[in-house]
Structure formats: structure tokens, C-alpha cells
Amino acid sequence: MTAQQFEAQGGVATADPSAIRRWLTSQLISWIVSDKRLLAQRAKVERQRTRNRAPHVLEYFHQVDDGYSHLAAQLLKPLLLRYDVDLRCHLVSGPKGGNVVEPDLLARLSYYDAEKIAPHYGLEFPGTNVQPTSCQIETASGILAAQDNSNFIERAALVGSALWLGDDAALQKMANTYGSATGEQLAASVASGNARREALNHYSGAMFYYGREWYWGVDRLYHLEQRLIELGATRITTNEAPNSASPTTLLAPRPALEPGRLKDNASLTLEIYPSLRSPYTAIAFDRTVSLARDTGVSLVVRPVLPMVMRGVPVTRQKGLYIFRDAAREAQAAGVPFGNFYDPIGEPAKRCYALYPWACEQNRGIELLSS
């Protein structure tokens, strides 16, 4: 590999930072993702809320043409019924610029992924494999932009179902029945939602925001639910202890990882693309290896360079969210995380240079795991 392939790409991280910059970055991220900082922040937020006698304000940012948003929309009304929150909905556009390098790929992934995960949460996503047209998206957006907050909560999932089914007749009927915003009104509504999201330091759709923390879609909703339960912000009483966060009390519990009783004979293949700087790799790699072993499938490891080392821009906004999100997931999964040392640049190069040799010794997985 030539030196030119590892030239610094700029942005919030460089391909080979100086020793002092690497140390400072490592210290900063370790502090940002620490449990101590998170718990202190939550306590401060709750003290301020209590002192101001304010409600539990939960904000939701809905992106009409996003598969994850359609799943989240189906839980808006159940959330409001289950938890004592002031739910405020915003209409937004998708991420832009350095926050999304391949918008078309991300859009297709949201359709594919939403269809796969929906049944595990008791939700629905039409499996038509047909992407909504720009005209259908505009019609659906216009309907939602015309709704007040309570009607948005009631109708977002209905509008989404018609959109993802490609049902023009149903969309037009809802536009006639519920009303539809003009082009200017729609643009103003989306601009307002985008501005609010930007002010809160995020960039994506299907996002919930509560008390200085972000929760992405139904996948991360269990973190929010557990937090609200711990604060006693529930409307429905159960037979369990007041602070119980048992999966039976959650609308969107974290799915359990169950290998099952049957074992494959390596006829199936599981591929993983680990990056040495990715916090998601850090919390998922060893568990993926264990899953392959427990299920008997063949594991194929395909290492990739960290994003900034291959020229992919990563904004500070996106980077901080990723690390904070990974820290919460690690804690939930019981995976050690947080004592971070930034391997970008020379450390990553050295590890990847060793990888072919480690594979020859049948120790490639052990090298990446270490």
C-alpha cells in the first residue's frame, strides 16, 4: 500500500494525527462516553426539569421517505399512551453533506432493513420492494405538514403505510380528508423541523430527543423507555416494581440474541466488515465471532479501513453521536467499552499490515479482537 493512499483527508479527524492530537482525542472521547458523565448529565437535566416544574418533553423528527421513520411513527401513539410525556413532532428532510456520503444507498438500506426488523417489534413495513416516487413523497409530506401535533401523532403511520404501498388513491383520499399543505407551507414546515434538529445537534430522521440525549428509531427506543421508567414517567401501572425495566414492560424491547437449538454445517456464510476505529466494531466483533461459532455458520472477515483513512468525511456532529450511541449499546450488552485510544493512522496501518501474516497463522480473528 502506497503512502499516497494514506494521505490526510481533513475534516474533524486526519488520517495520521500527531501524538499529542491522538492523546487529546482519546482522552476527550473517553470522557464523553463515560458512564459517570452520562449519569451526571441525566441528573442535572432532571433537577432542572423538576425545579422548573416542566413536563417530560420528548421530541420526534420524522423523515417521510425514510423506512426507519415509518417504523417509529407506528409507536408514536403507544408511546404517548404508555409514558407521561409531552410528545412534539417535527417534519424533517434527510441528512446532507458530510453526514451522508451515499444518500441513495442509505435510502435503500432503510427500506430493506425496516422490512426485516419490523416483525421483531410487532410492526409492519410493506414488502413491495418499490421505492416511493417523488410525487408520492411530496403528497405524503404535504398531508403531514398540514396536521397539528395531535393529528400528526394519529396519522403519521397511516400516511406512511399508503406511501410505502404506493397507494396513490389512498394518499389522495387522505389529502382530501385531512388537508394538505401548499408547497410554501411544506417547505416552511420542513425548514422549521430541520432548524430545530440542527439546534439540538443532530442530522438524521427517525430520531427521538429527550433530556439532551438522542435515540434512533425503534432500535434504540428501549434506552429511552428504561430512562422514562426510572424517572417514574409512566401512565400505565404494572404489577412489577416501580423502577422495573423488564422487557415485558417495554414497547420496543431489545431483541435477544438467540442462536437456537439447531446448528448449521457451515453451508451458510456470515460476513463481517470490521474497521479498527469503529466503536460499533469494538462492541460487535467478538459477539459476531461467538454467534458464528454457536450457530455453525462459516464466518468471513473482511477488514476495511477507517472511514477517514479512505476519504469519507465524518462531521463532529455525527462522530460524537456514534460514540455515545455505541457506549449505551455496549453497556446494555455487557461489553467493556470506554477506555478509548484512537488508532487512526499509524496504529491502524501496522495492524492491517500484520493481518495477512496473522491469517497464515490462523490468528487473524485474534489479532482484530485484540
Burial class of residue 232 in the structure, from the number of CB atoms within 10 Å of its CB (0-12 exposed, 13-18 middle, 19+ buried): exposed
Comparing 6 with 98, which gets the higher pLDDT? 98
Q: Please name which of 152, 164, 85 lies closest in space to residue 127, comparing C-alpha atoms.
A: 164
> In Å, what is the CA distance from 39 to each residue of 31, 45, 148, 207?
12, 10, 35, 21
Rg (CA), the chain: 22
Instruction: Give pLDDT, residue 262.
Output: 81
Q: Which three cell numbers stand for residue 244?
A: 422495573
Asked if 175 contacts 143 with a C-beta cutoff of 8 angstroms, the reply is yes
Instruction: Give pLDDT, residue 74.
Output: 98
Residue 127 has pLDDT above 80, yes or no: no
For CA atoms 344, 346, 347, 351, the dihedral sign is: positive
Residue 351 has pLDDT above 80, yes or no: yes
Comparing 7 with 179, which gets the higher pLDDT? 179
Confidence of residue 315 (pLDDT cuts 50, 70, 90): confident
Distance CA 368, CA 352 (A): 9
Confidence of residue 2 (pLDDT cuts 50, 70, 90): very low
**What's the mean pLDDT in 62-90?**
97
Instruction: Give pLDDT, residue 241.
Output: 44
**What's the mean pLDDT in 49-64?**
98
Q: What domains sit in the chain, N to C, each tagged with a CATH number? A: 3-35+257-369 (no CATH), 55-210 (3.40.30.10)
Instruction: Give pLDDT, residue 305.
Output: 86
Task: List all residues 6 or more positions away from 9 whose beta carbon is below 8 Å from its beta carbon.
Answer: 15, 308, 309, 311, 312, 313
Tens digits of per-residue pLDDT, 249-291? Answer: 899 999 888 887 888 888 899 999 999 989 999 999 999 999 9
Lowest mean pLDDT among 92-96, 183-187, 246-250: 246-250
Comparing 62 with 278, which gets the higher pLDDT? 62
Instruction: Give pLDDT, residue 20.
Output: 86
For CA atoms 260, 261, 267, 271, the dihedral sign is: positive
Residue 298 has pLDDT above 50, yes or no: yes
Asked if 242 contacts 232 with a C-beta cutoff of 8 angstroms, the reply is yes
Average pLDDT score over the chain: 90
The DSSP symbol for 234 reads B
Burial class of residue 370 in the structure, from the number of CB atoms within 10 Å of its CB (0-12 exposed, 13-18 middle, 19+ buried): exposed
**What's the mean pLDDT in 297-304?**
94
Instruction: Give pLDDT, residue 6.
Output: 44
Tens digits of per-residue pLDDT, 11-36? Answer: 444 567 788 888 888 898 889 889 99
The DSSP symbol for 298 reads E
Instruction: Give pLDDT, residue 15.
Output: 65
Instruction: Give pLDDT, residue 288.
Output: 95
Residue 242 has pLDDT above 80, yes or no: no
pTM above 0.85, yes or no: yes
Tens digits of per-residue pLDDT, 139-159? Answer: 999 999 999 999 999 999 999
